[in-house]
A and B are shown apart, each in its own frame.
Chain A
Amino acid sequence: MSKRRAKPGGAVGPLMVVCGAGALAGLALDFMQPAQPAFWIGAAPGGAAALGAAAAVFAVIGARLVAMVLGRGKDGSDADA
């Protein structure tokens, strides 16, 4: 598999700011809410943040693993079965 350098792009900074603001606002609002019984830990305050982080890790690592295992051919036009 060939390796190459790829620039991340000019939108990463603004996107990081927007996502960071959303994360902070969400977490602040969630923890400021009066405590309510949650049916499992994922529904407790901050649970959604943990799920989001796990989903992001999956989106990067999982994508590479799936491409490595199930990918066929290199960059270029599609050659469907």
Chain B
Amino acid sequence: MLTLNPGFVLIIASFLILAAPRFARPWLIAAAAIVAFTVLLGREFGAATAVAQMGLPVVFLSLDALNRIFGIAVLITLMTLAPYSAARRHGVEDAAILLLAGGALSALFVGDLVSFVAAFTLAGLASAWVVLASPLEGSNPAGARLLIWQGIEGLLLLVGVAFHLVSNQDLALTRLNAGTISGAFILSALLIRTGAPLAHVWFKDAVAYASPLGAAASAAFTTLIGVYALARMFPSEPALTWIGGAMIVLGAVYAVAEPNLRRAAAYAQTAQTGVCVALIGVGSPIALAGAEGHAFAVMIAFAALQMLLGGVVRQRGDARMEQIDGLAGDMPLTAVLLVVSGLAVSAAPGTSLFATQTVALDAFGHWDWTPLWALTMALPAVIFAKFVLRIAVAAYRPRIALAARNEAPFVMSLGISLALFFCITVGLAPTWLYDLMPADLSFDPFAVHNVASQAQLLGVGGCVYLLLHVSAARLTAASPARLLDADAFYSGPLAKVAGRLGRWGLTVYDTVQSAMEGLAKGAGRLGLRWIAYWDRPFSQVWGTLAQPAALALLLVIAFLASA
């Protein structure tokens, strides 16, 4: 039986792709995904034999239902990215994306904390590489900002694992206690990766400055691996319900107001990721199954949306609401796919997110979790307003002049269609997904109550939104260029304070340096004078007396030492 971690296949392919000719690269990505799939599905559940490295047990492969469902989602998404990548020539970015997917997949399947930190950090660094490889303006500073976030995250993980090793002498990748110092460090690191409030800014930043392909890869292979790690190490952690709820609110608030649609999609994904985090916090078997299924559906649906918006960026230069205006005129297929993708991310009945959201609502269906139930229920209506109605109204706005066809390349549309195909087929036949979940679910998402609730939510929400939008459109305020978020604090006031502190520190350093230099010079001069003084023994009375005295002292010491 082959005991290779499926992620290693992608990591090896990331090196090979650097030497591959352009036409072979998409095929190599697809082939790597298929080989990794074969490795994943060809193995029974359980851990491979541990090997010892520097006295620590290292388990390169440990397969169970929890990591299998995430692994399948990663590989399906990678397969949809393969044809999409054929639209441009960028071998370095292809390698970065394969390394990101490989690191993420390896992190899913390793069975010990040290290997997990290594693979998780590799994926984090590769995500920064993806942004740095982007040809878009401003990608280098964005990549540097992401590297700082990943550095902080890696440091927290390392410190947490070190404390854990000292206190437990056990490195198994299993449930941890957030109340211990090691657990707190590891939880903080995972929350950064998941995009918890205040740390959520790295995600929208990375997505906005990555290339079209890079944004889709970042959407799929970064935050949701954090969700897996939380489900593995911190199930039933009460703090996660609050953090998840805050992520839903924060994501929804920014998603509706953000004029840049790639950023808005990242915020909407943060909100849907918040649902997963809150479910992990609830921790019941159905909630954990719901979290895993929801992460699966979110990964593919938002990758598809980012791919579509990437097509708009490629053809129109940007993905702000202004670029969507009249989109159906020159990019009719993209406009249709955008609406379908909008339905997929807003959990319309018949899509995979609807199938998993019904499980999530069932898990929250208790008086104690009423706020989370209400937030999870209302979130699709907010996303529907932004990504279906607002986009459809703008895209199908009549234009006076007929525009020439400017559709995205066929291979891009192929990748997008493939991703949407998975969203819809899993949505129409969700039993396949439910069978992958760790808990035994006999769940019918198409029960009349579920479909009726979602239909009225989106229907009534849509009617109200359209009425308000049409009446409010008469006096539409100009949309802002950007929205202030937590990063405005660390790049604004905090940066100023840090700059002042730095300047003050440099001044103090200079002053201390000058004082030390003066002191050293003074001491040197004194030393020279002292040497010169002793160099002329007969010129001074004291010198004449001191020499026999020193000689006598030396003789006394020698005598005492020999006695």
Give Cα A23 to B28, complex, Å. 47
Distance in angstroms from B267 CB to nearest chain A CB is 11
- Residues of A near B475 (CB, < 8 A) are 3
Q: How many angstroms between the C-alpha atoms of A52 and B355 in the bound complex?
A: 19
Q: When chains A and B are docked, how far (Å) is the Cα of A62 from the Cα of B252?
A: 10
Partner of B457, one of A10, A49, A57, A80: A49
> Of residues 51 to 81 in A, which have CB atoms within 8 Å of B's CB atoms?
51-64, 66-68, 70-81
- Cβ–Cβ < 8 Å partners of B396 in chain A: 9-11
Scoring A residues 3 to 19 as 1 if CB is less than 8 Å from chain B, else 0, what string do you get? 11111111110011011
- Contact A10 B477, beta carbon cutoff 8 Å: no
Closest residue to A66 on the B side, CB-wise?
B257
Residues of A near B453 (CB, < 8 A) are: 26, 30, 47-48
B421 within 8 A of A: no
Contact A24 B459 (CB under 8 A): yes
Query: Hey, which chain B residues are within 8 Å of A7, CB to CB?
Result: 397-398, 473
Binary interface encoding of chain B residues 435-471 relative to chain A, with 1 for a CB under 8 A from any of its CBs, else 0: 0000000000000110111111111111111101110
Inter-chain contact B462/A15, CB cutoff 8 Å: yes
Contacts of B492 in A (CB 8 A): 81
Interface flag for B520 (CB, 8 Å): no
Complex Cα spacing A51 to B247, Å: 19
Q: Is the CB of A22 within 8 A of B459?
A: yes
What A residues does B473 contact at CB under 8 A?
6-8
CA distance A12 to B468 in the complex (A): 12
Residues in B468-482 with C-beta less than 8 Å from chain A: 468-470, 472-482
In the bound assembly, the distance between CA atoms of A30 and B470 in angstroms comes to 29
On whether A67 and B257 interact (CB within 8 A), knowing A3-B477, A43-B365, the answer reads: yes
Measured CB to CB, the nearest residue on chain B to A41 is B370
Let me know if B460 and A49 touch, CB within 8 A.
yes
Once bound together, how far apart are the Cα atoms of A39 and B469, in whole Å? 33
A33 contacts which chain B residues (CB < 8 A)? Answer: 448-449, 452
Which residue in chain A gives the minimum CB-CB distance to B142? A80
The smallest beta-carbon distance between A78 and chain B, in angstroms, is 6
**Is B254 an interface position by the 8 A CB rule?**
yes
Q: Are B488 and A11 in contact (CB under 8 A)?
A: no
A residues in contact with B385, CB < 8 Å:
55-56, 59-60
Determine whether the beta carbon of B459 is less than 8 Å from that of A25: yes
Q: Could you tell me if A26 and B456 are in contact, using CB atoms closer than 8 angstroms?
A: yes
* A51-B457, A52-B460 known; A11-B373 Cβ under 8 A: no
In the bound complex, do residue B138 and residue A52 qualify as a contact, i.e. CB atoms below 8 Å apart?
A: no
Task: Give the residues from 330 to 355 in chain B that come closer than 8 angstroms, CB to CB, to chain A.
Answer: none
Q: Contact: B466 with A1, CB < 8 Å?
A: no
> Is there contact, CB below 8 Å, between B458 and A4?
no
Given contacts A67-B483, A72-B481, A78-B481, whether A23 and B460 have CB atoms under 8 Å apart is yes
Check B366 for interface membership: any CB of A closer than 8 A: yes
Which residue of B is nearest A76, CB measured? B481
Interchain nearest-CB distance for A61 vs B (Å): 8
Q: Return B377 CB to nearest CB of chain A, in Å.
A: 5
Judge whether B208 and A78 touch: CB under 8 Å: yes
Q: Separation in Å of the A31 CB from the closest CB of chain B? A: 9
Question: Min CB distance, A72 to chain B, in Å?
Answer: 6
B483 and A70 within 8 A (CB): yes
Within the complex, what minimum Cβ distance (angstroms) separates B248 from chain A?
12
For A20, what are the chain B residues with a Cβ–Cβ distance below 8 Å? 459, 463
Query: In the complex, how many angstroms separate the beta carbon of A41 from the nearest chain B beta carbon?
Result: 10
In contact, A40 and B367 (Cβ under 8 angstroms): yes
**Which of chain A's residues has its CB closest to B252's CB?**
A58
**B461 to nearest A CB, angstroms?**
3
Q: Does B394 contact A (CB under 8 A)?
A: yes
Using known A-B contacts A51-B377, A51-B378, A62-B257, determine if residue A22 contacts B456 with beta carbons closer than 8 Å: yes
**B377, A25: Cβ atoms under 8 Å?**
no
Instruction: Say how far B48's CB is from chain A's closest CB, in angstroms.
Output: 44
The answer to the question of B205 belonging to the interface, with a C-beta cut-off of 8 Å to chain A, is yes
Residues of B within 8 A of A8 (CB): 393, 469-470, 473
- A12-B470, A15-B393, A66-B254 known; A21 vs B459 contact (CB < 8 Å): yes
Cβ-defined contact, B479 with A59, below 8 A = no
Would you call B227 an interface residue if the criterion is a C-beta within 8 Å of the partner chain's C-beta atoms?
Answer: no
Contact (A39, B393) CB under 8 Å given A15-B466, A60-B472? no
- The CA-CA distance from A54 to B382 in the complex, in Å, is 9
Smallest Cβ distance from A81 to chain B, in angstroms?
4
B454 and A71 form a contact (CB under 8 A): no
Q: Which residues of A contact B470 (CB under 8 A)?
A: 8, 12
- CA gap between A28 and B458 in the complex, in Å: 14
User: Which residues of B are found within 8 Å of A56, using beta-carbon distances?
Assistant: 381, 385, 460-465, 468
Once the chains are docked, how many angstroms separate the CA of A67 from the CA of B257? 6
Give every chain B residue within 8 A of A49 (Cβ-Cβ).
456-457, 459-460
A42 to B365, CA, bound (A): 11
Per-residue A-contact encoding for B364-383, CB less than 8 Å = 1, 0 else? 01110010011001110110
A55 touches B382 (CB 8 A): yes
| Interface assignment of B322: CB less than 8 Å from any CB of chain A | yes
The 9 closest A-B CB pairs, nearest first, are A71-B480, A23-B459, A73-B481, A26-B456, A26-B455, A52-B461, A19-B462, A22-B459, A55-B381
User: Which residues from chain A sit less than 8 Å from chain B, CB to CB?
Assistant: 1-12, 15-16, 18-30, 33, 36, 39-40, 42-43, 46-64, 66-68, 70-81
CB-defined A-B contacts under 8 Å, sample of 24? A3-B476, A4-B478, A5-B474, A10-B398, A12-B466, A12-B470, A15-B389, A19-B389, A21-B459, A23-B455, A27-B460, A36-B449, A52-B457, A52-B459, A55-B461, A56-B463, A56-B465, A56-B468, A57-B464, A64-B472, A66-B256, A71-B257, A73-B482, A78-B260
The chain B residues found within 8 Å of chain A, CB to CB, are 138, 142, 205, 208-209, 252-254, 256-257, 259-260, 318, 320, 322, 365-367, 370, 373-374, 377-379, 381-382, 385-386, 389, 392-398, 448-449, 451-466, 468-470, 472-485, 487-488, 491-492
